[in-house]
């Protein structure tokens, strides 16, 4: 299927946009008229540039306020259209988007709208151009795709068809059901996702759209309807987004392509599943050339976390890990790398000169530079990731050393795919001189519950899509909470089995610690690592006794707690003494505590216990931590 993107979706000059679009391997563009009007470039030059870059100009848009107008305005519009047809001929663009009329002069008369669109289609036909009619959610009389379709059917002209845009359909809570019956009159498909918002629809549409897979619309269901209509392309993105327009366009263009590949893969998967009972679906699959990525791998937790350090930080972070109950577990055979372990948790400290870890350290100081994700199919995971536009990472390995399929995640943290058949130590047996395990329980920390990733605002949607498309994780509803210096937005991403959990945090305020740490890590940094304990009270009490410092929690918090939940008074006093935070949902309870940040670096550790099926991350308690840290700084 040919893939396209509207020029309005990216930052930069028209020339820059085209280069970014071509570099991301799109086949074509929707030319957003203002991009051309303001470019110091003739139509012929633009046409040549697109040809040189291998891009088609699939669509010219938008042509506004046309249908259902009083006669004089209609006649002027026809003249205006002829001028645009001249331009389209010069550009070699075959299709014009007419969006539904928003003018107060527009008349509520579908028959008149049809008559005028017929006249336009007739003129387009003389030049062998086509017209597509799109319902804008805020059109004066035509708001829904069905209303536009009704008019297109009345016209019944081969040069007039329907354009659908998922944003307009979902923003009005309308259904895409029925688009499948439009058939060959479906001339063009614009896909956009968006977060659900209570905004005025025009502001929502013009500032907050995002790529399929980044928002909350049923974009897969929408595109499935289009495919079932027999539509075979172009599949196009039309994304008005303030952040995207302010972000380097090459990065956004990669997300754009990833979103379309993911979308095609999801719809293909649905048709394949329907295929056995549904002959039409099976036939479509043969004709449509939908992208066919390797399936989403099943992940089974985090195998290890690797920190980039230098000698001094290897000492002090190693000391902190020991304080947390970790044991030194071994040394790499050929590199300046050490391993710590506790329960099923493995942490690697890497201070090897001339390594990716050292490169990260030299820019960002001590920080997480790599993760290992456990899976039954590491090569499958790699193949899916590269199919969805992740860069492969080739670690320099010595003779006989373990090789792992690996990728670079957006922002630079390396993700290794680790074969779960290797077990907890197996990965390290080849490369490390391992210490014998002495069976000590440490502090009772057993596994990595989740990683929280701090992101600058321009990286959040990228990471939501990366998690969804590459790792197959779903997003929970975003929660917002208050830091003393601004608002934090937090989105939990996890697989259906809840074996892999990542939390994506972002702050629009530059004054929050979280935002400052994210900025300091180049936009993406692991902010904290949460370790699971089977008995958090016991773990924290033991660690406090050895002098480990936790973020202190205000007494007022514990006075308030019994007013929020029905809790045993003695239990509340134990929580207070240990400084443990508490949350309860319909699914279960959550106990957690945070360590003080590691000396000067942005990251810290969280210790957690989930009871029953608690599925969140204690976001309601995050302000208690952040306020406490702020007060510590002020003292
Ligand atoms: O916001 C607009 O005006 C506008 C224009 C053209 C489109 O295709 C669209 O979806 C919105
Ligand atoms: Mg549109």
Mutation to probe ligand 1, out of 134, 162, 204 (largest number of atoms < 8 A from CB): 134
Q: 601 versus 459: which is more confidently predicted?
A: 459
Pair (464, 323) in one structural domain: no
Here the CATH number for the domain that contains residue 81 is 3.20.20.150
Percentage above 90 pLDDT, the chain: 86
Indicate whether 139 pLDDT > 60.
yes
- Do β-strands 524-533 and 501-507 pair in parallel, antiparallel, or remain unpaired? unpaired
Pair (582, 461) in one structural domain: yes
Closest Cα to atom 9 of ligand 1: 136
How much is the average pLDDT of 53-59?
98
- Write down how long the chain is: 635
Q: At what angle do helices 71-91 and 110-126 cross, to 10 degrees?
A: 30
Distance 297 CA to ligand 1 centre (A): 37
Report the alpha-carbon distance of residue 605 to residue 318 in Å, rounded: 14
Decide whether any atom of ligand 1 lies within 6 Å of the 61 Cβ.
yes
Least confident range of 133-142, 299-308, 420-429: 420-429
Residue 342 lies in a domain: yes
At residue 139, the 3 state secondary structure works out as coil
Residue 440 lies in a domain: no
Indicate whether 125 pLDDT > 90.
yes
Give the position, in ligand 1's atom list, of the atom nearest the Cα of 202: 1
Report the alpha-carbon distance of residue 503 to residue 495 in Å, rounded: 12
CB 338 within 8 A of CB 349: yes
Pair (559, 599) in one structural domain: yes
Distance 100 CA to ligand 1 centre (A): 9
Pair (350, 418) in one structural domain: yes
Closest Cα to atom 11 of ligand 1: 136
Indicate whether 509 pLDDT > 80.
yes
Please report which helix (H) or strand (E) contains residue 550, including its range: none
The reply, when asked if residue 450 is annotated as ligand binding, is yes
pLDDT one-digit tens code per residue, 101-116: 999 999 999 999 999 9
Closest Cα to atom 6 of ligand 1: 62
Across 444-454, b (16+ Cβ under 10 Å) vs e yields: bbbbbbbbbbb
At residue 561, the 3 state secondary structure works out as helix
Q: Where does a domain end: 288, 309, 336? A: 288
Distance 190 CA to ligand 2 centre (A): 6
Pair (469, 597) in one structural domain: yes
CB 367 within 8 A of CB 601: yes
Indicate whether 302 pLDDT > 90.
yes
Pair (569, 508) in one structural domain: yes
pLDDT band with cut points at 50, 70 and 90 for residue 53? very high
Cis peptide before 62 (omega within 30 of 0): yes
Pair (405, 450) in one structural domain: no
Decide whether any atom of ligand 1 lies within 6 Å of the 134 Cβ.
yes
Closest Cα to atom 2 of ligand 1: 206
Of 234, 241, 232, nearest in space to 167 by CA: 241
CB atoms under 10 Å from CB of 70, counted, come to: 11
pLDDT, residue 633, reads 65
Residue 462 lies in a domain: yes
Pair (362, 494) in one structural domain: no
pLDDT one-digit tens code per residue, 557-592: 999 999 999 999 999 999 999 999 999 999 999 999
Pair (421, 461) in one structural domain: no
Residue 439 lies in a domain: no
Distance 119 CA to ligand 2 centre (A): 23
- Phi and psi for 307 in degrees, rounded to 5? -100, 140
Report the alpha-carbon distance of residue 247 to residue 229 in Å, rounded: 35
Which residue intervals of 172-310 are DSSP H helices? Answer: 201-207, 219-228, 249-275, 279-288
pLDDT, residue 631, reads 80
Pair (311, 384) in one structural domain: yes
pLDDT, residue 233, reads 87
pLDDT one-digit tens code per residue, 382-417: 999 999 999 999 988 877 788 899 999 999 999 999
Here the CATH number for the domain that contains residue 555 is 3.10.180.10
Indicate whether 287 pLDDT > 90.
no
Q: What is the mean pLDDT of the chain?
A: 95
8-state DSSP, 172: T
Distance 465 CA to ligand 1 centre (A): 24
How much is the average pLDDT of 521-538?
96
Residue 366 lies in a domain: yes
pLDDT, residue 634, reads 58
Mutation to probe ligand 1, out of 199, 205, 237 (largest number of atoms < 8 A from CB): 205
Decide whether any atom of ligand 1 lies within 6 Å of the 34 Cβ.
no
Decide whether any atom of ligand 1 lies within 6 Å of the 62 Cβ.
yes
Q: Where does a domain end: 288, 316, 337? A: 288
pLDDT, residue 623, reads 87
Indicate whether 137 pLDDT > 70.
yes
CB 101 within 8 A of CB 67: yes
Decide whether any atom of ligand 1 lies within 6 Å of the 136 Cβ.
yes
Measured on CA atoms in the order 268, 272, 278, 282, is the torsion positive or negative?
positive
Pair (494, 361) in one structural domain: no
Which residue shows structure tokens 């297109």?
152
At residue 256, the 3 state secondary structure works out as helix
Report the alpha-carbon distance of residue 178 to residue 485 in Å, rounded: 48
Q: Where does a domain end: 378, 405, 434? A: 434
Distance 5 CA to ligand 1 centre (A): 13
HSE of 142, CA atoms in CB hemisphere, 13 A: 34
Decide whether any atom of ligand 1 lies within 6 Å of the 31 Cβ.
no
- The dihedral over CA atoms of 71, 72, 77, 82, expressed in degrees to the nearest 10, equals 100
pLDDT one-digit tens code per residue, 230-248: 999 899 999 999 999 999 9
Report the alpha-carbon distance of residue 585 to residue 587 in Å, rounded: 5
In sequence order, which residues have a C-beta less than 8 Å from that of residue 589 and are 6 or more positions away?
582, 583, 610, 611, 612, 614
The reply, when asked if residue 141 is annotated as ligand binding, is no
And the tokens for 128? 């062998």
Pair (567, 606) in one structural domain: yes
Indicate whether 439 pLDDT > 90.
no
At residue 326, the 3 state secondary structure works out as coil
At residue 435, the 3 state secondary structure works out as coil
At residue 136, the 3 state secondary structure works out as coil
**Owning domain of residue 63:** 3-288
Of 334, 360, 189, nearest in space to 260 by CA: 189
pLDDT one-digit tens code per residue, 3-30: 999 999 999 999 999 999 999 999 999 9
The reply, when asked if residue 332 is annotated as ligand binding, is no
pLDDT, residue 236, reads 98
Q: If DSSP states are collapsed to H, E and C, what string results for 199-215?
A: CCHHHHHHHECECCCCC
Residue 151 lies in a domain: yes
Closest Cα to atom 5 of ligand 1: 62
8-state DSSP, 320: H
Distance 164 CA to ligand 2 centre (A): 7
The ligand whose atoms approach the alpha carbon of 63 most closely is: 1
Mutation to probe ligand 1, out of 30, 202, 207, 238 (largest number of atoms < 8 A from CB): 238
CB 568 within 8 A of CB 479: no
Residue 294 lies in a domain: no
8-state DSSP, 367: E
The reply, when asked if residue 313 is annotated as ligand binding, is no
Report the alpha-carbon distance of residue 61 to residue 463 in Å, rounded: 30
Number of domains within the chain: 3
Distance 627 CA to ligand 2 centre (A): 44
Mutation to probe ligand 1, out of 99, 166, 241 (largest number of atoms < 8 A from CB): 99
Report the alpha-carbon distance of residue 315 to residue 33 in Å, rounded: 59
Kindly state the greatest CA–CA separation across the chain: 91
Distance 289 CA to ligand 2 centre (A): 24
pLDDT one-digit tens code per residue, 75-104: 999 999 999 999 999 999 999 999 999 999
The ligand whose atoms approach the alpha carbon of 190 most closely is: 2
The reply, when asked if residue 51 is annotated as ligand binding, is no
Residue 21 lies in a domain: yes
Report the alpha-carbon distance of residue 65 to residue 84 in Å, rounded: 14
DSSP codes of every residue in 459-512: GHHHHHHIIIIIS--EEPPPEEEEETTEEEEEEEEE-TTS--EEEEEEES-TTS
The reply, when asked if residue 190 is annotated as ligand binding, is yes
And the tokens for 439? 């069976």
Percentage above 70 pLDDT, the chain: 99
């Amino acid at each position: 299927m040919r893939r396209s993107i509207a020029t309005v979706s990216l930052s930069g000059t028209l020339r820059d946009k085209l280069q970014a679009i071509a570099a991301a391997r799109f086949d074509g563009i929707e030319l957003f008229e203002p991009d051309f009007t303001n470019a110091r470039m003739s139509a012929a030059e633009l046409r040549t540039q697109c040809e040189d870059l291998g891009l088609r100009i699939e669509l010219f848009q938008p042509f506004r306020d046309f249908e259902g107008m009083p006669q004089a305005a209609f006649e002027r519009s026809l003249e205006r259209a002829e001028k645009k047809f001249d331009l389209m001929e010069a550009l070699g663009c075959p299709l014009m988007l007419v969006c539904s009329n928003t003018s107060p002069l527009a008349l509520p008369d579908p028959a008149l709208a049809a008559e005028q669109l017929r006249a336009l289609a007739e003129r387009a036909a003389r030049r062998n151009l086509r017209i597509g009619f799109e319902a804008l959610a805020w059109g004066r009389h035509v708001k829904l795709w069905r209303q536009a379709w009704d008019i297109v059917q009345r016209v019944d002209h081969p040069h007039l068809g329907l354009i659908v845009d998922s944003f307009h359909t979902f923003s009005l809570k309308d259904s895409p059901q029925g688009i499948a019956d439009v058939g060959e009159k479906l001339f063009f498909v614009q896909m956009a996702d968006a977060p659900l918002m209570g905004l005025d629809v025009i502001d929502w549409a013009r500032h907050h759209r995002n790529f399929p897979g980044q928002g909350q619309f049923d974009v897969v269901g929408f595109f499935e309807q289009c495919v079932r209509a027999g539509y075979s392309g172009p599949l196009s993105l039309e994304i008005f987004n303030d952040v995207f327009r302010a972000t380097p366009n090459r990065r956004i263009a990669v997300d754009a392509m990833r979103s379309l590949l993911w979308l095609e893969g999801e719809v293909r998967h649905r048709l394949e599943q329907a295929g056995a009972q549904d002959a039409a679906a099976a036939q479509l699959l043969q004709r449509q050339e939908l992208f066919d990525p390797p399936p989403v791998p099943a992940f089974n937790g985090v195998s290890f976390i690797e920190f980039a350090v230098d000698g001094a930080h290897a000492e002090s972070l190693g000391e902190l890990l020991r304080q947390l109950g970790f044991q030194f577990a071994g040394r790499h055979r050929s590199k300046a790398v050490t391993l710590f372990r506790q329960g099923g948790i493995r942490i690697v400290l890497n201070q090897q000169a001339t390594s990716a870890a050292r490169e990260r350290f030299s820019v960002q100081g001590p920080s997480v530079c790599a993760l290992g994700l456990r899976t039954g199919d590491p090569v499958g995971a790699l193949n899916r990731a590269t199919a969805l536009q992740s860069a492969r990472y080739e670690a320099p390995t010595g003779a006989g050393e373990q090789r792992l399929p690996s990728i670079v995640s957006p922002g630079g943290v390396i993700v290794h795919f680790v074969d779960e058949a290797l077990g907890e130590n197996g990965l390290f047996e080849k490369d490390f001189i391992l210490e014998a395990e002495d069976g000590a329980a440490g502090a009772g920390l057993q596994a990595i519950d989740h990683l929280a990733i701090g992101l600058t605002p321009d990286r959040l949607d990228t990471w939501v899509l990366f998690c969804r498309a590459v790792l197959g994780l779903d997003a929970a509803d975003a929660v917002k909470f208050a830091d003393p210096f601004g608002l934090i937005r937090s989105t939990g991403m996890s697989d259906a089995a809840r074996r892999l959990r990542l939390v994506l945090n972002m702050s629009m305020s530059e004054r929050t610690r979280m935002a400052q740490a994210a900025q300091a890590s180049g936009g993406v940094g692991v902010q904290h690592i949460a370790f699971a304990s089977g008995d958090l009270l016991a773990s924290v009490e033991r660690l406090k006794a050895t002098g480990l410092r936790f973020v202190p929690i205000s007494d007022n918090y514990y006075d308030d707690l019994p007013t929020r939940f029905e809790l045993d008074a003695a239990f509340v006093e134990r929580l207070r003494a240990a400084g443990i935070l508490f949350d309860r949902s319909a699914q279960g309870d959550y106990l957690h505590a945070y360590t003080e940040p590691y000396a000067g670096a942005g990251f810290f550790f969280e210790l957690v216990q989930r009871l029953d099926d608690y599925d969140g991350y204690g976001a309601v308690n995050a302000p208690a931590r952040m306020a406490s840290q702020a007060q510590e700084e002020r003292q």
